[in-house]
Chain A
Amino acid sequence: MIGVHGISKRFGTFRALDGIDLEVREGEFLALLGPSGSGKTTLLRIIAGLEFPDRGHVEFNGEDVTGLKVADRKVGFVFQHYALFKHMTVADNVAFGLSVRSRRLRPPKAKIRARAAELLDLVQLGGLGNRYPAQLSGGQRQRVALARALAVEPQLLLLDEPFGALDAKVRKELRRWLRQLHSQMGLTSIFVTHDQEEALELADRVVVMDHGTIEQVGTPEDIYMSPSSAFVSDFVGETNSLPVSVVDGRAQFFDRAIEVESNRVADGPARLDFRPHDVSVCDDQPGCLPMLVTGIYRRGGEWRVEGEVTGIDRALEIDVSATETPPEIGTRLGLRINRAKLFTTGVQP
């Protein structure tokens, strides 16, 4: 189990991390999700021992490792651009961690070679051991980097934007494969990503970060369905947001009461966030929100309808089942919001 307690880190005047507390469970696949500059990579590097915190400490299985260097932490680190040693063959890259051990701990040469071959098989690159990194595709390099990190039998696998440099199709395949490998090997893994889809698809739990602090920690379901802040609601998944004022615990949009199932917030200005699929079309009934349709296109089994609502600048996006006839551009549509989250804003709507 990995514990991170009160970690703060500054780079000059930039506050990269500010009082981070986090528990990583045994065998967990954890995502650090956030926009660039949110501190996610810095946190990963501090856990690895590639960076050292100004305050706070890091524990591995109850043991304080804050002062330990990366070499002594038994972590596998996969770099964003893989950092393969380009003057070494793929097999030598994978064998590196074993071949630099002190003579006492170093397995015999034949054994190292066998282990490297085994790992290359594991990452489905058997037979490519004699190639050089430059002769591999991006996805293959990524897997070599993974095999190399796994060779030292780390207790913790850390991945920095593991799919960032790959094209969409390879990314998707590799994602699934990595998830499998993680469970198959019983690893504890932490990966950094700015791609919320990736985080939601892969991780057991997601840590959403912004401006050097943790906004929310939870399962993908928690994060998506019950975002704890306006930032998380915005950053994860697609969100429509209406400026409302809460009066007597009920949301009002320009004096029009909105009938919606949501959390309770204090009276005053707030924003009402809802997902495109949490909306149904209704006729002119009380509580329906009139929207002018400005665009429509197919998204898989649904129509994505874009529209304008008087009083807000940003277009709304809603999903309508593609089994229904699509609304026409220029027509008015009544919306019923089925499910929403309220966040107090302190700004007048």
Chain B
Amino acid sequence: MIDDRKSGSGGRYALIALAIAFLALFLMLPLVAVFVEALSKGIAAYGAAIVEPDALAAIRLTLLVVAISVPLNIVFGIAAAWAIAKFDFPGKSLLISFIDLPFSVSPVVAGLIYVLLFGAQGWLGPWLRAHDIEIIFAVPGILLATIFVTFPFVARELIPLMSEQGRDDEEASLSLGASGFQTFWRVTLPNIRWGLLYGVLLCNARAMGEFGAVSVVSGHLRGLTNTMPLHVEILYNEYNFVAAFAVASLLALLALVTLILKSIVEWRFDYHRGSAGH
């Protein structure tokens, strides 16, 4: 720190100023713009845009997608992280690569894969049609796309954490007579809770905000297969700016809440890891 102070504070302040200017221009300004635009016709217009039936349907659908995809993600994430961190098996590194796949594949491509599989012209299309199952341009497609895009979040958070913790605690618990479930519930889960929560937050934010993959499989049917981000786009394309920004402001609020929660979780997480050191 002393060295920092000596070595020209001018450069340091210039760097900080640059960073702040950058953040203001690219992050704060758009965020403010969203709210300014949303409220440009007054609070009444803002409220009306949100309680409008199609908007409500979009919100409901988004919440439904979150309610299903996040719990699945938790289950999958814990299972995968557990297997990878605590056991050795052939194909382990392959599994890790697969978990990372959604990070490296464009969401649009992810959506297209599902269309290719389940769409009317897709591999399974005729069979699905024969059995009257709708996946593409329906809620199941949106769910699949969201799950695909979000599935690394929890696992990626937990794998390093659980690897670092090793198997000692679980073995200690088992040696004291605890069952597998008791060990998971009373030893493993408390050890990973902050990492898990962090992963869930990120997963939740992504599930609500996902546009690309969902856009491809949704079909944009108003009131039926429109999630919030898709609804925003439709409204915007119809030059209905106030309504578009009103719904967008909800997503922006979600982002802010996520950011705050994330900071809290990170702080708790670091605190716990710090105190665990020996």
Contacts and interface: CB of A to CB of B under 8 A. Distances in A.
Interface of A: 48-50, 69-71, 75-77, 79, 81, 83-88, 96-97, 100-101, 132, 134, 138, 141, 148-149, 151-152
B233 to A, nearest CB: 45
B272 to A, nearest CB: 8
Nearest to A158: B175
B191 A87 contact: yes
Contacts of B175: 48-50, 70-71, 75-77, 149
Nearest to B274: A134
Nearest to A49: B175
Interface string B247-278: 00000000000000000000000001001111
B178 A134 contact: no
Contacts of B186: 85, 96, 100
Interface in B188-205: 190-191
B182 A83 contact: no
Contacts of A151: 176
A81 B168 contact: yes
A141 B277 CA distance: 13
Contacts, number: 71
Interface string B102-120: 0000000000000000000
28 contacts: A48-B175, A69-B174, A70-B171, A71-B174, A71-B175, A71-B176, A76-B175, A79-B168, A79-B171, A83-B168, A83-B171, A83-B172, A85-B169, A85-B172, A85-B173, A85-B187, A86-B191, A86-B276, A87-B272, A96-B173, A100-B173, A100-B186, A134-B275, A134-B276, A138-B278, A149-B175, A151-B176, A152-B177
Contact of A100 (B169, B176, B191): B176
Interface-central residue, A49, A85, A141, A149, by most chain B CB under 10 Å = A85
Contacts of B182: 100
A101 B171 CA distance: 16
A302 to B, nearest CB: 38
Interface residues of B, number: 21
B171 A71 contact: no
A97 B182 CA distance: 11
Contact of A87 (B173, B174, B190): B190
Given A132-B275, A134-B275, A138-B278, A83 B169 contact: yes
Contacts of B176: 71, 96-97, 100, 148-149, 151-152
B163 interface: no
B128 to A, nearest CB: 45
B184 to A, nearest CB: 12
B179 interface: yes
Contacts of B173: 85, 96, 100
Nearest to A48: B175
Closest 5 CB pairs of A and B: A97-B176, A83-B168, A83-B172, A100-B178, A77-B175
